[in-house]
Amino acid sequence: MSGARRRFRFIKEIAEGGFGKVYLAEQLSSDGFSRIVAAKLLHAKWSSHDEVVMRTRDEARLLGLIRHQHIVRVEDLTSIDGKCAIIMEYLEGVDLKYVLQYLRDRHMTFPRAALFEIASAVASALDAAYNGRPLQGGDPLRVIHRDIKPSNIFVTIAGGVKVLDFGTARANFAEREAKTQALAFGSQGYMAPERMLGEEDTPAADIFSLGITLYELLTLEAFGRIPPRPQKFVKKVEERIAAVPLEGPSEWTRQVRDVLRAMCAYDSKERPSATSLVDVFEALAQGASDAPLKKFCRTTVAESKANEPDLETGDPLTGQVIEEDASSAFGPGAGPSTTAAAASVAPAPSRTGAVARVNLPIDGPTEAPSERSGTTDVVRSSGGGGGMKIAAAAIVGLGGVLVVVLIAVAVVAYVLSTEMSSGPTTVVTTPPDPPPENTVAPPDAGGGAVGGGGTVVSRDTREGVPSSTATVLSMVGGPAEVVITGGVGFKAEWDGAAPFDVGALPAGTYRANITPQGGAKLRNKSFTVEADKACAFTFDVAAGDWSGGCP
């Protein structure tokens, strides 16, 4: 990049995670040309963190080498306001995590034809990332995504499908900067058992993650903890797959279960390749009798995006026109730029339903990814889960997950002794305790303190609503100021320091605004309570999301 520097008009913030923010922006050129983009900016606090900055640059460079219709496109890598910035295509739509919640809240199902078209598109993207050769020439990049999950798959109103968040990816390319092996990436609820045990990453791990994602699309329920031990693993997979609700010819339903079973095989060598799955999913889509992808996107996806609330954070960058910094600010081996931007902007509060995602570390170390609640136009990056995703419009699920593996033996021992939770992971020096699993006695019907530094300010005023038998909340990376709302009139406050026994809660989705000490507020972080079950959820501050569930 040479000559006059470009300017960017920041229209609005569309996503935020622990590592950075994604904005809908207008790129302005000196010749009067302008275009809409998604701009992902690394938080100032990470600008001096070499590993995070290197992975941010690696993600941008990697996506610059890949050109595929189902992989979010990166336009440029630059520096704005002294922060590493990725400029990405803007996508108008939502990620699948948001779609799943939208369908669940309305008691709808995910059309099978559309679902398998999406799965085929994702398999095609994984195949291209691993086996495809760059148009510039050279060997295949051998990209392994390492964080496939609903929040990293974006669907547009026009019927497009994009895989986001390559901030956690492993790849072979000459310009790669980050070489450390001290970090392991992924989201526990979608992580293949061999990855939990510290074995070498292979493309088969992405297939496993896609299989778990497919299960969730079919059932609109979380798969739950993935046991690393073979016997428990096989038993749970068989039970889950047998219970998937399927309607259609017996041969078609058998094929669906067989594909799921193969993708979720304990032995990675028994899983099908992404190449073969493209055709398999296309055939399953053709065998389904409900809405195809384009119709689903024109209707349900468009409706879900229209219902997504605007993010009102008061971000000081919004409405400003800022010139990019010196072109060498983030070149190979360079540290963050110290050049002053046209306007100095303080970090803005966080928001949850982002629209643009990039695969930058936006999530935060622990660096777990933050999953955005309502994505619209963003791409996000992971950094592991920790990257920020900017799918622009790109997608907003911002979350990727980084787990620090300090001592391999200790991690393996922990994994073997505990079934891992289904949410995003965080970067921790020692494995967190698993959420409580035992049923606890429900509190009194009125408000008041119920234990663990938390207080139920007001109860849900509805009568006759099915409820959980108990709900317990815990936090990794706290303490933090937490305000939880949901249902009709329910409100609770919690300091995040100790597990919060909230008691029996009416079934439904609850949202929390979380303000960590010294950190930006995380808004509308949701968890779903199920009726007649004991529920346990853990919020990972670095990842910016809840894990756990109601087993």
pLDDT tens readout for residues 281-304: 999 999 999 999 999 999 999 999
pLDDT over 90 at 99, yes or no: yes
pLDDT over 60 at 386, yes or no: no
Asked whether the beta carbons of 412 and 197 are under 8 A apart, the reply is yes
Amino acid at 479: P
- Which secondary-structure segment (H or E) carries 37? strand 34-42
β-bridge mates for residue 527, sequence order: 510
Write down the residue that tokens 């170390």 correspond to: 365
Q: Around Cβ 258, how many Cβ atoms within 10 Å?
A: 12
What's phi and psi for 307, nearest 5 deg?
Answer: -90, -5
In this prediction, residue 538 carries a pLDDT of 92
In this prediction, residue 177 carries a pLDDT of 44
Asked whether the beta carbons of 491 and 460 are under 8 A apart, the reply is no
Q: What is the pLDDT averaged over residues 64-79?
A: 88
pLDDT over 70 at 249, yes or no: yes
In this structure, what is the dihedral angle of CA atoms 137, 185, 401, 428, given to the nearest 10 degrees?
Answer: -150
Rounded Cα distance, 65 and 40, in Å = 18
Q: What is the pLDDT averaged over residues 402-417?
A: 32
Asked whether the beta carbons of 394 and 426 are under 8 A apart, the reply is no
Q: Around Cβ 176, how many Cβ atoms within 10 Å?
A: 17
β-bridge mates for residue 28, sequence order: 7, 34
Top mean-pLDDT range of 13-17, 106-110, 317-321: 106-110
In this prediction, residue 180 carries a pLDDT of 42
Asked whether the beta carbons of 443 and 455 are under 8 A apart, the reply is no
30-64: pLDDT as tens digits? 888 899 999 988 887 777 777 778 777 877 788 88
Asked whether the beta carbons of 363 and 18 are under 8 A apart, the reply is yes
Top mean-pLDDT range of 69-78, 263-272, 408-417: 263-272
Q: What is the pLDDT averaged over residues 351-367?
A: 33
Rounded Cα distance, 238 and 233, in Å = 9
Rounded Cα distance, 378 and 393, in Å = 4
In this structure, what is the dihedral angle of CA atoms 464, 101, 40, 391, given to the nearest 10 degrees?
Answer: -170
Rounded to two decimals, what is the model's pTM? 0.62
DSSP class of residue 394 equals: B
Rounded Cα distance, 59 and 65, in Å = 10
In this prediction, residue 397 carries a pLDDT of 35
In this prediction, residue 452 carries a pLDDT of 60
Range with the poorest average pLDDT among 123-137, 294-308, 309-323: 309-323
Write down the residue that tokens 């398998």 correspond to: 116
201-241: pLDDT as tens digits? 899 999 999 999 999 999 999 999 898 889 899 999 999 99
* Domains along the chain with CATH numbers: 93-304 (1.10.510.10), 436-549 (2.60.40)
In this prediction, residue 358 carries a pLDDT of 33
**Cα 499 vs. chain centroid, distance in angstroms?**
25
Amino acid at 478: G
Task: Report how far apart, in Å, the C-alpha atoms of 143 and of each of 66, 202, 331, 339, 509 are.
Answer: 10, 9, 22, 34, 36
Asked whether the beta carbons of 23 and 87 are under 8 A apart, the reply is no
Give the chain's length: 551
What's phi and psi for 385, nearest 5 deg?
Answer: -60, -20
Rounded Cα distance, 169 and 491, in Å = 39
- Which secondary-structure segment (H or E) carries 540? strand 534-540
Asked whether the beta carbons of 364 and 19 are under 8 A apart, the reply is yes
In this prediction, residue 199 carries a pLDDT of 86
Asked whether the beta carbons of 38 and 391 are under 8 A apart, the reply is yes
Range with the poorest average pLDDT among 149-158, 327-336, 468-477: 327-336
pLDDT over 70 at 353, yes or no: no
Rounded Cα distance, 219 and 233, in Å = 19
**Cα 77 vs. chain centroid, distance in angstroms?**
22
pLDDT over 90 at 359, yes or no: no
Rounded Cα distance, 46 and 336, in Å = 9
% of the chain exceeding 70 in pLDDT: 72
167-212: pLDDT as tens digits? 666 655 444 444 444 344 568 899 999 988 888 889 999 999 999 9
Asked whether the beta carbons of 14 and 25 are under 8 A apart, the reply is no
110-133: pLDDT as tens digits? 999 999 999 999 999 999 999 988
Higher confidence at residue 173 or residue 109?
109
Q: Around Cβ 530, how many Cβ atoms within 10 Å?
A: 20
Question: Between β-strands 470-476 and 534-540, what pairing exists: parallel, antiparallel or unpaired?
Answer: parallel
In this prediction, residue 498 carries a pLDDT of 84
In this prediction, residue 37 carries a pLDDT of 96
Helix axes 203-219, 274-287, angle to 10 degrees: 20
DSSP class of residue 519 equals: S
pLDDT over 80 at 17, yes or no: no
Q: What is the 3-state secondary structure (H, E, C) of 281-331?
A: HHHHHHHCCCCCHHHHHHHHHHHHHHCCCCCCCCCCCCCCEEEECCCCCCC
Amino acid at 361: P
Cα atoms in the 13 Å half-sphere on the side-chain side of 80: 29
Q: Please provide the average confidence, as pLDDT, over all residues in the chain.
A: 75
Q: What is the pLDDT averaged over residues 362-390?
A: 34
